[in-house]
Amino acid sequence: MRFILIALFALGSSAVAQATPLTPADKSALISGTNNSCLENQVKDATNKAITVGQLQTYCDCYAKAFAEIMSVEDLDKNKDGLTAEIKTKAGELSQKCAASSLKR
């Protein structure tokens, strides 16, 4: 499954110690933005024509929540202009896990 991630990283971050957890509000905003972007892109993807919108919603919800769990304040800052190779790799792994569980592929 091809996945184009356009996560919203418009969340402010400050210079703090490494691996600072996201605040609940920031995590919620990241989940919402990632979920909305995911669903918009997945619905438009011609390779997903045989997949129902409900299945795509389940996939995107899984992905957005898992993505928010791995992100820290520092990650948001490092990835605001585009995803780093490390985060792209992790995102790909999350995508595969969520696809396997929600799309039964």
Note whether residue 8 is domain-resident.
no
Token pair listed for 34: 């990632």
What pLDDT, on the 0 to 100 scale, is given for residue 105?
A: 52
Note whether residue 2 is domain-resident.
no
pLDDT at 66 over 70: yes
pLDDT at 69 over 50: yes
3-state secondary structure of 4: coil
Note whether residue 37 is domain-resident.
yes
Provide the domain count of the chain. 1
Other C-beta atoms closer than 10 Å to the C-beta of 15 total 8
Domain of 68, in residue numbers = 24-102
Note whether residue 81 is domain-resident.
yes
13-59: pLDDT as tens digits: 333 346 899 999 999 999 999 999 999 999 999 999 999 999 999 99
Residues 6+ apart with CB under 8 A from 53: 43
Bridge partner residues of 21 (DSSP): 72
CA distances from 91 to 36, 38, 71, 85 (A): 16, 12, 10, 10
What pLDDT, on the 0 to 100 scale, is given for residue 85?
A: 96
What pLDDT, on the 0 to 100 scale, is given for residue 103?
A: 83
pLDDT at 101 over 90: yes
3-state secondary structure of 14: coil
pLDDT at 6 over 50: no
Note whether residue 92 is domain-resident.
yes
Token pair listed for 92: 């790909």
Note whether residue 59 is domain-resident.
yes
What pLDDT, on the 0 to 100 scale, is given for residue 5?
A: 33
Residues 60-72 have a mean pLDDT of 98
CA distance 67 to 85: 15
